[in-house]
Amino acid sequence: MPFVSRSDDGAIDSVFEQLQDGRAEEFLSDDDPAVVAFRNAPPIVSSVSARQFRLMLRRSGLLDQVKAWVAQQDGETQDAFEYSGTFVKDSPMMTAGFAAMGFTPQQIDQFFTAAASL
């Protein structure tokens, strides 16, 4: 039977086996639907390797479009795309690039989740 804490929107954001004074004081059963959903939620992917990122671009048919966009950016962005070992979802380059491609936040999350599986 876990103790849970909740985010401002009321969703469970942590589960603990022990009472956490001031943080997780709500006690729920293990089979509570909210606890089950939290425990079975896919992990949040915040970064992927360069290999994963580029393979996902290729599989999505976006590699040439992204390379063309990068070629029009400043030198630092070009270097980051070419030489980064890790691509971080919330970095300024990623934010600008995905905005230029017209991605929604949900599509960005889906892209990174799919890339992480490669």
The whole-number pLDDT of residue 42 equals: 84
The whole-number pLDDT of residue 43 equals: 84
Per-residue pLDDT of the chain (118 residues; tens, 9 = 90+): 799 999 999 999 999 999 999 999 999 999 999 999 999 988 889 999 999 999 999 999 999 999 999 999 999 999 999 999 999 999 999 999 999 999 999 999 999 999 999 9
Which two structure tokens, joined as six digits, stand for 24?
């997780």
The whole-number pLDDT of residue 34 equals: 92
User: Can you tell me the distance from the alpha carbon of 58 to that of 52, in angstroms, rounded to the nearest whole number?
Assistant: 10
The whole-number pLDDT of residue 92 equals: 93
Cβ count within 10 A of residue 56: 21
